[in-house]
Copies of this chain bind each other. A is one copy, B any other.
């Protein structure tokens, strides 16, 4: 235990020189990881030139391979997204498309994402968090990640335009705080379990 690491892809539409409300909520996540001596890294996907397409490397300066390499090294992956029009961001969808383009297998012949666990974090000023997180969780499960119970944390305000997580002091929301505790702990729990007892290569090996 304790040799785990976590990678968080913040799929905000903004680059890291702009404040992201999602980042603020993610800080509470990484605090839990820190307390458990799990090394975590938060990446703003918008900082990278990620090409469109369904392949590991689309060439022409495509920077997805850099991110994919980090994903391959991680035990825990969190896809984080803001809400726009009640849905996950276009950048988070592009990440799913690029992950979908990966057909690499591990040395057991299982998809490369096996024995990694995944969760999702969503923030928005209003309605849409579960719709966004659900797409991400289901996509990740199909691609080979294992999903622990209560795998998401989110904050949204009430209906309509309004302040986001930081300004609205969403960190005072007990439900959101409870989500963060459950999701972060369960991601660590399941990652630890699969580290000791990986999923056997039976029935899930590509020919």
Contact = CB atoms under 8 A, between A and B. Distances in A.
A177 to B, nearest CB: 9
Contacts of A196: 197
Max count, chain B CB within 10 A of own CB: residue among A129, A152, A161: A129
Contacts of A168: 158
A150 B154 contact: no
A85 B97 contact: yes
Contacts of A137: 137-138, 141, 147
A91 B181 CA distance: 32
Interface string A116-159: 00000000001111110111011101111111111110111111
Nearest to A147: B147
A99 to B, nearest CB: 9
A147 B141 contact: yes
Interface string A179-207: 00110111001100110110110111000
Nearest to A207: B178
B87 A90 contact: no
A40 interface: no
Contacts of A135: 87, 134
B138 A133 contact: yes
Interface of A: 13-14, 32, 46, 52-54, 84-91, 93-94, 96-97, 100, 111, 113-114, 126-131, 133-135, 137-139, 141-152, 154-161, 168, 170, 173-176, 181-182, 184-186, 189-190, 193-194, 196-197, 199-200, 202-204
